[in-house]
Structure 1
Amino acid sequence: MYALREGLRQILRHPTASLATFFTALVSFALLYFLGLVLWNLERVVQTLERELEVAAFLQKGANVEALLTEIQGWPEVGEVRLQSKEEALAQLVLDYPYLAEAKDLVENPLPDTLRLRLKAPEAVRTVAERLRKLPGVEGVEYGGELTERLVQVLSGSRLAMGVLVGLLLLNTFFSVMGSIRLSLESRKEALGIMLLVGATRRFIQAPFVVEGILLTLGASLLAVAFGSLLYLGLAQALQGLLPFLPVLGVKDLWQTGLMVLALAVVLGAGGAFMATRAYLREV
């Protein structure tokens, strides 16, 4: 109770420095939380596209289907391969576009037999497509991997950029906490000297300042998580209204990410305060 009471007093004793640290931490944690959710959601989108990724190999008339199936099934990148006859392809086309139902009886079926492949490793889609084009009896190859490949590249670049940004934000918060605690230490310089003379331990002296650091960063992180959750849920709802198939994070995911941010806030607050008091006590 002593540490908590003194920590609150020190925050009120220096409102300007405390507010500066609070708002620095607020901006850092809000960006960290919201960008983390966006990046995680982008990963979900990429994973969904990878699961649905399919390579189609269009066959020439008279192609040896059995030989092609046997060879392709032996490729390590391929998880499943199946034959879609031209009749099945036409039936699926009519199902997707009902207005073609009358036209199909007027002309000969122009669609080829098709081999459809599901891959174990979606990143190998370009290699598999090139290998398919070289097989005898394959007339053409199509796959929807271009969009997935671009999203993977965006995701990799986003991870790197976010890593640098998060590092800078956390360092900024850490040193802001240290600066605020240093000011509190200077304002109580005489009292701390007397406490050391009468035998107070360093841990006893450090405790109120560590509590002060935790209160500043934890309060900022709580507000940041609340604001970031409302912003994310609003954007997710708007996006799903436009793109209902788009996967979004659930409330459980938001809780999980929020708890991680709160834990990080406690570590930063306690760590910054501890390092500031440790350096000060060494000087004394």
Structure 2
Amino acid sequence: MYAFLQALRALRQHTTSSLATFTTSLVSFTLLFLLGLVLWNLDRVVSSLERDVEIAAALKPTANAEAILTQIQSWSEVAEARLETKEQALAALQLSYPYLSQANELIENPLPDTLRLKLVNPQNVKQVAGRLEKLEGIAWVEYGGAITEQLVRVLGGLRIAANVLIALLMADTLFSVMGTIRLSIQSRREELRVMLLVGATRRFAQAPFVWEGLLLTLLAAVVALGLGMFAYSFISDALQKLLPFLPVLSTQDLLKAGAALALLALVLGAGGAFLATRSHLRETAL
């Protein structure tokens, strides 16, 4: 209780530096929270696209469809393989474009029998497509992995840039906390010297400053969580109205992200205060 009350007193005494550290932490935590949610959401989008990746292999009219299907089903990379006849393909097309049924009696069905594959690991789509093209009886092969591959590359670049920014924001918050704590130590220099002379341990002397750092970062994290969740909710609702198929994070996911941010605030607040007090106490030989 003593350490907590001393921390509150220090925050009141150094209002300007405390507000500066709070503002710095608030901006950093809000950006960290939103960056984390965006990257997590992009991972969900890419995973969803990868799950939907399907290889379509059109068969030549003379191909033995059942033999080719049996051969492909034995491949370890293939999770599911099925044959779609040209009649089934035409029926599905007519569901999407009903006017085609009117021309059904006038022209012959031009669609080929098609093998449709889903893979155990969607990242193997290129290799499997290459093997399919070499099979006897395959006319052509198509797969929808090109867009997914581009998204994965873009996501990789974004993740690197975001990690660099996250590291800079964390360092900025840490050094800001350390600066505020060092100012508090300077103002209580004589008081600390007396405490140590009468037998107080260094940990006892450090405790109020650690509490001060914790209060600053935790308060900033709470406000940042409120701002971040509001912003994410607004953006995700707008995106889902525009793109209903786009996956978004659930409430449970947001709570997990909030818990991670609170833990980060604890580490930066307590860690920054501890480092500042330890180095400063050594420098002044208290």
Same topology, TM > 0.5: yes
Q: Structure 2 matches for 1:131-146, cutoff 5 A? A: 131-146=131-146
Q: Where does residue 25 of structure 2 map in the other structure?
A: 25
Q: Which of 52-61 and 98-107 deviates more?
A: 98-107
Q: Distance in 2 between matches of 1:99 and 1:250?
A: 41
Q: Distance in 1 between matches of 2:157 and 2:171?
A: 22
Q: Given residue 69 of structure 2, which amino acid in structure 1 is its aligned partner?
A: L
Q: Where does residue 213 of structure 1 map in the other structure?
A: 213
Q: Distance in 2 between matches of 1:190 and 1:164?
A: 41
1:163 Cα shift?
1.4
Q: Where does residue 277 of structure 1 map in the other structure?
A: 277
Q: Distance in 2 between matches of 1:183 and 1:195?
A: 18
Q: Where does residue 50 of structure 2 map in the other structure?
A: 50
Q: Deviation per CA, 1:69-98: give whole Å up to 9, x if none.
A: 232122221111111000110111111222
Q: Given residue 73 of structure 2, which amino acid in structure 1 is its aligned partner?
A: Q
Aligned to 1:139, what secondary structure does the other structure show?
A: strand
Q: Which of 82-91 and 274-283 deviates more?
A: 274-283
Q: Structure 2 matches for 1:67-216, cutoff 5 A? A: 67-216=67-216
Gaps of 5+ in 2: none
Gaps of 5+ in 1: none
Q: Where does residue 34 of structure 2 map in the other structure?
A: 34
Q: Distance in 2 between matches of 1:60 and 1:26?
A: 63
Q: Distance in 1 between matches of 2:116 and 2:94?
A: 19
Q: Where does residue 250 of structure 1 map in the other structure?
A: 250
Aligned to 1:105, what secondary structure does the other structure show?
A: coil
Q: Where does residue 14 of structure 1 map in the other structure?
A: 14
1:251 Cα shift?
1.3
Q: Distance in 1 between matches of 2:161 and 2:131?
A: 35
Q: Given residue 263 of structure 2, which amino acid in structure 1 is its aligned partner?
A: A
Q: Distance in 1 between matches of 2:163 and 2:135?
A: 44
Could you tell me the TM-score, scaled by structure 2's length?
0.97
Q: Given residue 205 of structure 1, which amino acid in structure 2 is its aligned partner?
A: A
Q: Distance in 2 between matches of 1:174 and 1:25?
A: 9
Q: Given residue 7 of structure 2, which amino acid in structure 1 is its aligned partner?
A: G
Q: Given residue 161 of structure 2, which amino acid in structure 1 is its aligned partner?
A: A
Equivalenced residue count is 284
Q: Given residue 173 of structure 2, which amino acid in structure 1 is its aligned partner?
A: T
Q: Distance in 1 between matches of 2:177 and 2:105?
A: 76
Which contiguous aligned blocks of 4+ residues in structure 1 show a shift greater than 6 angstroms?
none
1:106 Cα shift?
2.0
Aligned to 2:57, what secondary structure does the other structure show?
A: strand
1:128 Cα shift?
1.4
Q: Distance in 1 between matches of 2:105 and 2:218?
A: 70
1:219 Cα shift?
0.7
Q: Distance in 2 between matches of 1:66 and 1:33?
A: 53
Q: Distance in 2 between matches of 1:256 and 1:66?
A: 49
